[in-house]
Structure 1
Amino acid sequence: MSNEIESELAEPDVMETADRLRVGCRKLLAECGKIIVGQSDVLEQLILAILARGHCLLVGVPGLAKTLMIRTLADGMNLTFSRVQFTPDLMPSDITGTDILQEDKTTGGRSFRFVHGPIFANIVLADEINRTPPKTQAALLEAMQERQVTVAGVRHKLPDPFFVLATQNPIEQEGTYPLPEAQQDRFMFNIRVDYPDEDEEYRIIEATTSATKARVEQIINGPDLIAMQQLVLQVPAAEYVMRYAARLVRATRPTPPAGEAASGPVPDFVKKFVSWGAGPRAGQSLILAAKARALLNSRTYVALEDVKAVAAPVLRHRVITNYNAEADGITPDEIIRRLLAIMPRDGEKS
């Protein structure tokens, strides 16, 4: 079956479409580089998640251009965009929309009309998502998972494509509402945005304190993006690659499920430092993101390196460390790094 899919993907018209859209993605990254200095890895991870139909959580201290990054990415696409500033008094209806009573001036009759909320856009920026109560955070769950919202018992389909790109501030936690693990699991990627290096910081200051402002051209439209997403699904992943992803996810769990024997020895550092490991959704995200990365890098198959490259953003919010890890300064990223170092690569192509 894998060979059949790979053969289908290699057909001239399909490859021509793949090359055209791949060039478009690279041009989009270059356009974003006009506004965003550095952060090339972050921008590429955002593109990968979008190609894999995933949502992203960006975590970083204030002033690292998280919001600007998302807005710039949206500007480079011919897609609708909305920004929601999450605050403690934000209500679910402020996001999803609400029914209003409307009078027909011709007949005098009254009826309810649904007014769309800001979530009815192709790209939704949920700014500082941890500053709003759980009830409002939960309003995003159905939208992110089912790509629809339900208001007064009526389902309203969201536009396609649809992405939620949320930002979170890791400091100033007073008055915030940390995202529950179940809601974090809805995000394909947890992307860390770090400080720029000295040269990048100089270029940021130079670019933002002059009268000249760069403009981003629109490179990709909705139909192109949907076509690229369909191509991502057609990229074949060999059995050994999918088993590698499954073993990596299972290795994050300190104990096997009740009544099930462990498929292999659990690493000692996982037993010591991890409370809860990643679930099956992590494996799905690993393979989908790896397929997108393969296509973006001009390959018609998924390599183990693709899985390893996306392991940190896929797993870091799904590996829950304990007090031992906090005491020893062990982060989820360190757990993932150690697992990648010891994971066997059985069946890899020579």
Structure 2
Amino acid sequence: MTDAPDTEAIARLHEACQNLRRELAKVVIGQTEVVDQLLAALFAGGHCLLVGVPGLAKTLLVRTLAEALSLQFNRIQFTPDLMPSDITGADIIQQDAVSGERKFRFLPGPVFANVVLADEINRTPPKTQAALLEAMQERQVTAGGQRRELPNPFFVLATQNPIEQEGTYPLPEAQLDRFIMEVLVDYPSEDEELEIVKQTTADFTPSATATLSAAEIEQYVHLVRRVPIADHVAREALQLCRRTRVGRAEAAAIAEKYVRWGAGPRASQHLVLAAKARAAMDGRFFVDERDIRAAAKPVLRHRIITNYAAEADGVTPDAIVDELIAKA
């Protein structure tokens, strides 16, 4: 039997998402699917990898999202010389003005925010990448021999430029797996680009109004986890992931031909969580197959590692997911 308070909370979440979309649309033209995927990742309690060429308003989108959610936003520009302490913070020596005594004081880094944009994360060495990825996984940082909790909610959006690969440090598969979704940011349509040009060349800067608080977001994250899912729907999510695993009995033919490494168990967990978030955002206190299929591409595309045959034949992870869904 459905819990009445949870059902009412789902209705409030649905209304909050509609308000959020309206506020974001004041500043960011188009990208409605990207916005929905970011919101799903947020309410699922995960982190996102944003992939798109420069100039597609990724930073603007993330900053506006933070404004609409009343959350603190920090942007970290990843460069080859960025150090872990530049992200997490460091102990500095401070002298007491009265006693003259010197003592260490921790100066928090930019990771101490609710929404963190890790811009071009693949431009910094693995040691620095690991500092952020530890924060994502543990929701805490270790600095000066002490562990320090990060604020709640904590939402990391990392960007990668798909064009320039020279001088980059690609994220290992195990670290990519920590992102609940890889969201593709594409070019706007002609009409959308016209609106962008008109808006950005006018003497007016639109802004978003805060519609949710940090406490409400935390409540909705827990609410999403309480959304029930039937066994047959959860099994569809599992089968989508398991059929990408090469060398297993359940592997699909297209996976055996084009996949070097398939999605692991964390993919199944994230796919169910993303589907629950989509259902809740849609105002439903249940998950069906539509939610699983809608979340499949962003959840699986960075977890399906293709081989040389796929590159030669122009087969992408998205095409593989489409084939798996079609034959589900």
Give the TM-score, by structure 1 length.
Answer: 0.91
TM-align CA RMSD: 1.1
Structure 2 residue aligned with 1:274, among 227, 250, 259?
259
Residue 20 (structure 1) shift: 2.1
Structure 2 residue aligned with 1:294, among 266, 269, 279?
279
- Mapping for residues 149-298 of structure 1, pairs under 5 Å: 149-256=141-248, 262=249, 264=250, 266-298=251-283
Contact kept, 8 Å, 1:34 with 1:216, in 2: the verdict is yes
Structure 2 residue aligned with 1:133, among 119, 125, 140?
125
Question: Secondary structure of the equivalent of 1:190?
Answer: strand
Provide Cα deviations, 1:174-206, integer angstroms capped at 9, x if missing partner: 111111111111100100011111111111111
What residue in structure 1 maps to residue 75 of structure 2? Answer: 83
Residue 72 (structure 1) shift: 1.1
Structure 1: which 5+ runs fail to align? 257-261, 344-350
Whole-angstrom CA distance in 2 between matches of 1:123 and 1:94: 17
What residue in structure 1 maps to residue 327 of structure 2? Answer: 342
AA partner of residue 280 (structure 2): L
Whole-angstrom CA distance in 2 between matches of 1:192 and 1:215: 24
Structure 2 residue aligned with 1:93, among 74, 85, 95?
85
Contact kept, 8 Å, 1:49 with 1:188, in 2: the verdict is yes
Residue 115 (structure 1) shift: 0.8
Contact kept, 8 Å, 1:148 with 1:158, in 2: the verdict is yes
1:26 aligns with 2:11: no
Residue 104 (structure 1) shift: 2.5
Tell me: CA distance 1:18–1:269, structure 2 relative to 1, closer, same or farther (3 Å).
Answer: closer
Residue 334 (structure 1) shift: 0.5
Whole-angstrom CA distance in 2 between matches of 1:154 and 1:255: 44
Whole-angstrom CA distance in 1 between matches of 2:74 and 2:176: 21
Structure 2 residue aligned with 1:304, among 285, 289, 296?
289
What residue in structure 2 maps to residue 348 of structure 1? Answer: none
AA partner of residue 168 (structure 1): Q
Whole-angstrom CA distance in 2 between matches of 1:140 and 1:119: 8
Contact kept, 8 Å, 1:185 with 1:317, in 2: the verdict is yes
Residue 61 (structure 1) shift: 0.8
Whole-angstrom CA distance in 2 between matches of 1:142 and 1:177: 17
Percent sequence identity over aligned pairs: 57
Whole-angstrom CA distance in 1 between matches of 2:177 and 2:107: 29
Whole-angstrom CA distance in 2 between matches of 1:307 and 1:16: 23
AA partner of residue 209 (structure 2): E
Contact kept, 8 Å, 1:274 with 1:322, in 2: the verdict is yes
Question: Secondary structure of the equivalent of 1:114?
Answer: strand
Structure 2: which 5+ runs fail to align? none
Contact kept, 8 Å, 1:21 with 1:224, in 2: the verdict is no
Question: Secondary structure of the equivalent of 2:75?
Answer: strand
Give the TM-score, by structure 2 length.
Answer: 0.97
Contact kept, 8 Å, 1:98 with 1:116, in 2: the verdict is yes
Residue 110 (structure 1) shift: 2.5
Question: Secondary structure of the equivalent of 1:220?
Answer: coil
